[in-house]
Amino acid sequence: MLSKAIQKGKQRWSDQNYYIVKALSEIHLKKNPNPEFTKEDFEMKCEIFEIPDNKTCFVSGQSANGVGDHMYEINGYFKYTEERGINDNWNLVPVCGEYNKKYKIFKFTLDGEKVKKNIGYENLTDEELLYLMSSTNNNYIHMAEIYVKMFTWKLYAEKKGAKLSFKETPEMTIIRKRFIDNYNKIWEQFEADCQLITK
């Protein structure tokens, strides 16, 4: 039981890494600030996502608690893009917990070929978007609507000079790696200490 608990404790590194990168995002924004997110920007976000406020899930129209979902995930796309998501209002959108993350993963069949894309960091081709928009499948149509809203917001943010992601500096990489090394050492020492008292 103890070894299983220790193993699970070590696996919680991903949670630690999430908050580390959020802190590093703050450092990045101090050096490379996004434009101020104004009332006008908020109103434009509501217009684009067709929601009355930031407590309404744009995917389902239901009430959404929390601060919102990162359109460009904090860590989720790093292995594909070598960029991490910025933690600010430009990159947040209200989404219900049950749709969190999965609303960005599109799976459909086009001309007999299975297509899978994560629109958090991947764009649809014109052919793919047209296919979804002109489909008689309601799920496909809903995908197209989600994509258009997100794509339109990204264009608006870009026009205003806002970034949704950032490249990790070498110094940031060193800080993260040092943290995980120390994190593992703490667990190794804890495991050794536990073995002493179980003999």
pTM above 0.95, yes or no: no
Helix (H, G, I), strand (E, B) or coil at 21: helix
* pLDDT for 127: 97
Q: Which runs of E-coded beta strand occur in the chain? A: 69-70, 83-85, 92-93, 105-110, 113-118, 165-167
pLDDT mean for each 10 residues of the chain (199 residues) = 70 82 94 97 98 95 90 96 96 92 94 96 97 96 98 98 96 91 87 82
Q: Kindly list the domain boundaries of the chain, sorted by start residue.
A: 1-33+169-199, 36-168
